[in-house]
Amino acid sequence: MKKIIAREYSPCSIDFRNYFDYDGMKEAGGENCAVYIPGGRNSYGFNNDELQEIVKQAEAILEGFEDIGSRYYSTHKEVMLDYGIAYTSRKCYLLKAWAKNADAYKLDDIAGFLTITTGKKWETRAFHGYSQGDYCEVMYCVERYTEQWITEIGNFWLGCGTEFEIDNCGGYYVMDTVRWHEGAELVRALADMHGCNPDDLEVHLYDGEVRTPKYRLLELAS
């Protein structure tokens, strides 16, 4: 039987932007489906505009709770409703406890804020790359994302992976920790993504490029 060819791209040809184009990791995927990566020194971030809106809302709640008893607000409920948070007594209780020590510019505290306001558990994970300063934090809903998926997201955001094409179609991304083993785990991962049996795959790994000199004959005028 003819094998299905899986061929690794050269490092300069890999484009992880295609991986992050998937709507399931954006607001387009539906409520509580987005994953957030704050912008850093070398990156604008992922879903960063949406994240900043959440930060502004959290900051407004913190400031509004501090103003209780002023001419602006007399109750915590008024603050919540004014900034778009549906009121329940439990949610108000949790927000008041959160606000005592929260910092709207700390991602862990924003995860806590979303846990209260959405009713779903949010967490953060940090990832480091190969070079000094390669770092990112990922905030995600634990009901939506598996640990494996978040590990992929963090690694691919930092470029710690590679891309394959299978049957002349690209977009098959593999983490470096799987790629480096060069064994059955890599073949299984590619087969799972393509939806075929591992035995049907023939995997070609990138092994550098050969430069072939080209010459022409120098002909002198007679």
Of 119, 134, 158, the domain-final residue: 158
Tell me the pLDDT band of 42, cut-offs 50, 70 and 90: low
Residues 103, 169, single domain; the answer is: no
With beta carbons less than 8 A apart as the criterion, state whether 188 and 199 touch.
no
What average pLDDT does the segment 169-191 reach? Answer: 95
- Which pair of tokens denotes residue 165? 């094409």
Do 217 and 135 share a structural domain? Answer: no
pLDDT at 210: 87
Model confidence at 153, in pLDDT bands (50, 70, 90)? Answer: very high
Note whether 95 and 110 are same-domain residues.
yes
Domain that holds residue 7: 1-16+159-222
- Model pLDDT, residue 110: 97
- Residue 16: per-residue pLDDT: 92
Number of domains, the chain: 2
Is residue 164 located within the same domain as residue 206?
yes
Whether residue 40 is found in the same domain as residue 121: yes
Pairing assessment for the beta strands 4-8 and 135-141 based on DSSP bridges? unpaired
Pairwise CA distance, residues 151 & 153, whole Å: 5
Task: Judge if 113 and 85 occupy the same domain.
Answer: yes
For residues 55 and 24, state if they share a domain.
yes
- Confidence grade of residue 86 (pLDDT, cut at 50, 70, 90): very high
DSSP E strands: which ranges in the chain?
Answer: 4-8, 122-128, 135-141, 161-166, 169-175, 201-204
The structure's pTM equals 0.86
Question: Could you give the CA distance from residue 178 to residue 180 in angstroms, rounded to a whole number?
Answer: 6
Q: pLDDT by residue (tens digit) across 100-119?
A: 999 999 999 999 999 999 99
Q: Are 82 and 89 in contact (CB under 8 A)?
A: no
pLDDT tens for residues 114-136?
Answer: 999 999 999 999 999 998 888 99
The three-class DSSP label of residue 12 is helix
Residue 70: pLDDT band with limits 50, 70, 90: confident
The residue from 103, 131, 158 where one domain ends is 158
